[in-house]
Homo-oligomer: A and B are copies of this chain.
């Protein structure tokens, strides 16, 4: 008897989670009773990331796309709607084909999004890039999280915040990112005041997509707190904004401020139009918006205080709940209800993790190792990992700093760079590879210890994301942190987490914590620490910390000076004045 053949009263309730990533959107159909994932589908964005030219708009259609300056990263919001129109019906069809379930049994839909990704809109939520007169204006498009062209604005925000002793600055480890709402908004004002003036709402894409689904604009507590500097019921003051730029004084009141919804609450009901796009029943619950890393925590059933969830991919994002409010040095932020309602949600991060391993494999592994991997039918990462796994801890004689992409937590310094100490003529690729794996584990331990020292206990490390598949890496993290390392039981964590929020919004569970316990999936202590190895790692971590503090806390600012020199000598043409400066 298939599920479809079961009597109507026994047909299982379903929810749909939709995860909006950097390059594509993914929908997953989930059973409310146990979190089983019954079907999923992915839709890649047609415009992907526009970081060299504006490939949407009339100019692009006419074959003359507008070039973008360095560090820009835009998206076209039409691509997000296409995910609703294509991936959601495809996921429903996959679930029907595999399990015989029916779209009519879906009781709620939830979403998660990259952040901080910002959409400038009219009063009714129409993106300004869809307004004819702005369709060729880059500033009218969506600024993706990794749009990094507002660094000068971010620098001014930070300088002013510290100069004025703004109370909120230490809720963000002392630094507001160029990626966030205020820096991007200030850039918009200063570079295209006409678009800024026409903008009625400066909307997180996480909230914009919910607006499209239920017709109601509600800011979610997660991005409002982490990216929108909303703390203790207030945003930065008009005075502060005016100090940045007199024309920016009304930014909060006129562009940002709006009703806030708590995570897991319903934002509204699915509109008829959204029902026609998705194939979902009109009128079902639509959950308040959320962020990918933050929905992963309930997906791993890891939302209790002390459960630190590390979403490990090209970079790592750490999120954790706590009953304590503390200013942890170098964290990305702490937000009341930022992860689940009723607890303080913390976020921290490592700028480079899988990216560093990928860089090493792409640029530093010789042909003979690649050939040996091929002979064995292994990828290069797998083969290097297998070779590295044969070593005893400490055998390679190396220590590395994992700062090839800068340091997010706890130093919050993107001018830092990588270090390898200890190479000899006997050092092999697998030795350095293992040292880099270990360096990222030391980086996580540094973050864990910053929380512990600030009075925010960490009792379990829960790993999600693509790097889960590297078993050596997982064991190293367990041994280095001396924490039981648990693993998520899903490879589509963010979408599963969005579905969990949908179930709560639909009333199937009283709150996210309760839903996570039933629908979330986690193998507890999949990798327990090995005490013998942990003791040796204590010695190596002491070496890491010595180098971390030497290079990262001002004793030797060589990394800053090297990057500064690099920028100066690369100045086009090297005019005499620049050369004089370089060599002074």
Q: Which residues of A contact B (CB under 8 A)?
A: 352, 355-356, 359, 362-367, 370, 392-399, 404-405, 417-425, 427-429, 532, 535-536, 538-540, 543, 546-547, 550-551, 556, 558-559, 561-563, 565-566, 568-570, 574, 579, 582-583
- A367 contacts B367, CB within 8 Å? yes
Q: Are A570 and B392 in contact (CB under 8 A)?
A: yes
Q: Please determine whether A558 and B352 come into contact, CB atoms closer than 8 angstroms.
A: no
Central interface residue in A362, A546, A561, by most chain B CB within 10 Å = A561
Q: Which residues of B contact A392 (CB under 8 A)?
A: 569-570, 574
Q: Is the CB of B551 within 8 A of A421?
A: yes
B404/A417 in contact, CB under 8 A:
no
User: A559 contacts which chain B residues (CB < 8 A)?
Assistant: 421-422
Q: Which residues of B are found within 8 Å of A579, using beta-carbon distances?
A: 532
From B356, B546, B556, contact of A546 by CB (8 A): B556
A582 to B536, CA, bound (A): 7
Q: How far is B399's CA from A330's CA once the two chains are assembled, in angstroms? A: 27
- A395 adjacent to B570 (CB under 8 Å): yes
Separation of A562 and B404 alpha carbons in the complex (Å): 22
Oligomer copy total: 2
Which residues on B sit within 8 Å (CB–CB) of A569? 392-395, 536
Q: Are B562 and A546 in touch, CB under 8 angstroms?
A: no
Is the pair A423, B404 in contact by a Cβ cutoff of 8 Å? yes
> Do A558 and B547 touch (CB < 8 A)?
yes
Which residue of the partner chain, among B366, B417, B536, B558, contacts A366 with CB atoms under 8 Å?
B366
Bound-complex Cα distance A540 to B405 (A): 22
- Contact in complex: A424, B417 (CB < 8 Å): yes
B394 touches A558 (CB 8 A): no
Nearest B residue to A570 via CB reads: B395
Are B562 and A398 neighbours in the complex by a CB distance under 8 Å?
yes
A540: which B residues are within 8 A, CB to CB? Answer: 565
Residue in B395, B399, B420, B568 whose beta carbon sits within 8 Å of that of A420 in the complex: B420
List 4 tightest A-B contacts by C-beta distance, closest first.
A535-B583, A367-B367, A418-B423, A397-B566
Decide: A397 near B565, CB < 8 A? Known: A404-B423, A425-B355.
yes
Is the pair B566, A396 in contact by a Cβ cutoff of 8 Å? yes
Residue contact A543 to B558, C-beta cutoff 8 Å: yes
Question: Is B583 touching A532 in the complex (CB atoms < 8 A)?
Answer: yes
Task: Find the residue from A424, A539, A563 having the highest chain B CB count within 10 A.
Answer: A424
Q: Is the CB of B364 within 8 A of A397?
A: no
| Residue of chain B at shortest CB distance from A428 | B363
Give chain B nearest CB distance to A543 CB in angstroms. Answer: 5
CA distance A263 to B569 in the complex (A): 50
Beta-carbon contact of A367 and B366 below 8 Å: yes
Tell me the complex Cα distance, A583–B535, Å: 5
**Cα distance A546–B547 when bound, in Å?**
14
Across-interface contacts of A561 in B (CB, < 8 A): 539, 543
Question: In the complex, are the beta carbons of B421 and A558 less than 8 A apart?
Answer: yes
Cβ-defined contact, B363 with A395, below 8 A: no
Nearest chain B residue, comparing its CB with the CB of A367: B367
| Cα–Cα, bound, A575→B547 (Å) | 31
Ordered by A's residue number, 28 sampled pairs between the chains whose C-beta atoms are within 8 Å are A355-B425, A363-B366, A364-B364, A364-B429, A365-B366, A366-B366, A367-B370, A392-B574, A394-B562, A394-B565, A394-B569, A395-B566, A397-B562, A397-B565, A404-B425, A404-B427, A417-B421, A418-B424, A418-B427, A419-B422, A419-B423, A420-B420, A422-B559, A532-B579, A536-B582, A538-B583, A539-B561, A543-B558
